[in-house]
Structure 1
């Protein structure tokens, strides 16, 4: 079942537009994840030098996913994309343990941003298919996710290249958006 089928399953009476911000360090797998969500070919992916935007429409939902490059020189520009974000998706390369501290600092700074206050957080613990990859539980402990109390959050183990765990993460996102919509009625 692809993303479109998921969205159809969670249909709503009126179309809802969601702005999703997809961030993480360079080479974490953000673009691969985005292409996997859109059921696109992932065999030729190059590093994102700026940003990619994908819009997926289905009955009840219009997802605008902003995939922003994660290179060190691009990260200061992330702040230009925070406004009106409905969901923050943060992708971590679980096989690149040398960069865990760096990714932890970046995520911590994102969570302190006023414009992202209260925005639900989905962390994709990516590259679970690689030898030596840290588990989602190890990542959650290292990032101290259990201390987050100002927003809903979820960590989802995945392999974007294998399309494993990607759908489950989006189900969490859409479920939270449905709950948020229900509570506003």
Structure 2
């Protein structure tokens, strides 16, 4: 049973991703103020996924969910060029947390269906991923509403964690 935390700025698509994985359907979401937690079963693996609200006032609470987390799923709205810098700063802050030092990082580049979505290479660059040391990471292009890329991301996570 793996423990993952699903974080990212508000409106990145975290809750949509969680319920697409859990129920296979699109649920109408409102901004998450606290958290949603679900167990997702996929290929005989149980993932406990915490989806924690992303609004700036509640981001300091993220750290309460870090303990025992094996995988960090950071969701970014690929279409939100205005806030990619803010996303990068939040991500870097999290990666400095001691409790996450062993967590693998899966980045969901979400909303890839939108015409102005940034390419993976541009996002990798803007988020400063190339400079990460001692961190296993992967960027997966996703479209939460269609479910595209989500299971590929989980495949990567479970493969990485089964190596440990």
TM-score per shorter chain, which class? over 0.9
Shift of 1:45: 1.6
Equivalent positions of 1:1-185 (< 5 A) are 17-57=1-41, 60-180=44-164
Contact 2:19 2:27 in 1 (8 A): no
Shift of 1:43: 3.9
- Give the 4+ runs in structure 1 shifted more than 6 A: none
Q: Partners of 2:43 and 2:149 in 1: how far apart? A: 23
Q: Partners of 1:114 and 1:126 in 2: how far apart? A: 27
What's the C-alpha RMSD, in Å, of the aligned pairs? Answer: 1.3
Superposition TM-score, scaled by structure 1 size: 0.85
Shift of 1:60: 4.7
Shift of 1:148: 1.1
Q: Partners of 2:68 and 2:124 in 1: how far apart? A: 26
Question: May I ask how many residue pairs the two structures share in their alignment?
Answer: 164
User: Who wins on radius of gyration, i.e. which is larger?
Assistant: 1
The gaps in structure 1 that reach 5 residues or longer are: 1-16, 181-185
The gaps in structure 2 that reach 5 residues or longer are: none
Structure 2 residue aligned with 1:13: none
